[in-house]
Amino acid sequence: MAEVVGGLFTSHVPAIGGAIARGAQNDPYWKPFFDGYAPVREWLAEVKPTVAVVFYNDHGLNFFLDCMPTFAIGAAPSYANDDEGWGLQRFPTQAGAPELSWAVIEQLVESGFDPATCQSLKIDHAVTIPLALAWPEGTPAGLRIVPIAINTVQHPLPSAARCLALGRAVGEALASFAGDERIVVMGTGGLSHQLDGERAGFINPDYDRFCLDHLPADPDALTRHSVHEIVELAGTQGVEILNWIAARGALGATAHELSRTYHVPISNTAAAVMLLETEAARAGGKAEARSEAALA
């Protein structure tokens, strides 16, 4: 059966892509942020995931205010990156995992969700930058992705509880999939930030640390706030924490924290990196991956 080995939670600020393009990872402004990925890359090299399920929010590359699904799942054989107007370098087209995508979609519908199903979908910086941070030399040959977009832009937004339930239903589908995939789940965006309006530049370290402290062992704590309260606590764009909450749900009941970094600010954003490992991976999956790596 497929195995979910862990989760990576990361900011996806477009400026990160510019820093990568300039080779600015060791500049004083950027180094504390990029240093947080050293343990992530070491762990990925050990577990060698074959699929990345990415919970993110689309920034107008596919959906805009006139057509904004609450949840949308890619079921395409491949996903191309396109120009978003940020001046970022184009990211290579990523292979999809349509059979796994459809298994997730079917499980979600059976669980009472009604996602949009996208057999053609482009990926924006909310997917490409986390992939570039995790694999700076390029994603490994054979890695496939399943992108899951959550509306964090056009109200009404889904509640934190609904996103956690969505993630848990996705996790059930992944765990029951009859394949040998090793799956890493990604939650991207945030943390607290607001880019416009009267509170432009708003950052709330107390709420960010509340999220980081509770996400591994008590994700339900993050559902105690309504969406409007989250916007108040985290900022208009900080509501991207919904992506993290959904991704955490997909990891199952128990997840062990392996590393975290919190850095303020990165382009007016509270930037964070967190790595969690599932109970199944801790019990035996990593050992098996190491054995396979030794034989390779």
Structure tokens at 78: 């491949």
pTM: predicted TM-score of the whole model, two decimal places: 0.93
From CA 185, how far away is CA 177, in angstroms rounded?
15
Provide the residue range defining the domain that includes 225: 3-270
Which residue out of 3, 172, 240, 277 is catalytically annotated?
240
Total domains present in the chain:
1
Residue 93 domain-assigned (yes or no):
yes
Q: Is residue 136 part of a domain?
A: yes
- Of the residues 193, 225, 263, 277, only one is catalytic, namely 193
Task: For residue 281, tell me if it sits in a domain.
Answer: no
- Is 256 a residue of the active site? no
The answer to whether 59 is a known catalytic residue is: yes
**Is 240 a catalytic site residue?**
yes
Give pLDDT tens digits along the chain (296 positions): 899 999 999 999 989 999 999 999 999 999 999 999 999 999 999 999 999 999 999 998 899 989 999 999 999 999 999 887 777 788 999 999 999 999 999 999 999 999 999 999 999 999 999 999 999 999 999 999 999 999 999 999 999 999 999 999 999 999 999 989 999 999 999 899 998 888 998 999 999 999 999 999 999 999 999 999 999 999 999 999 999 999 999 999 999 999 999 999 888 899 999 999 998 888 875 545 444 544 44
Does the residue 289 lie in any domain? no
Residue position matching structure tokens 């059930």: 172
CATH code for the domain of 233: 3.40.830.10
**Rounded Cα–Cα distance for residues 235 and 202 (Å):** 6
Identify whether 280 is part of a domain. no
Contacting residues for 134 by C-beta, under 8 A, at least 6 apart: 8, 10, 37, 40, 41, 44, 52, 186
Q: Which is the catalytic residue, given 12, 125, 225, 263?
A: 12
pLDDT of residue 279: 87
Please report whether residue 26 resides in a domain: yes
- List of long-range contacts for 76-85, beta carbons under 8 Å, 24+ apart: 76/101, 76/118, 76/119, 76/120, 76/121, 79/121, 79/122, 79/123, 79/127, 79/145, 79/147, 80/122, 80/123, 81/122, 81/123, 81/124, 81/128, 82/122, 82/124, 84/14, 84/59, 84/60, 84/124, 84/125
**Does 125 fall in a domain?**
yes
Task: Reply yes or no on whether 279 is catalytic.
Answer: no
Helix or strand or coil: residue 221? Answer: helix
Q: Is 293 a member of any domain?
A: no
Question: Considering 59, 125, 225, 263, which one is annotated as catalytic?
Answer: 59
Q: What is the pLDDT of residue 294?
A: 42
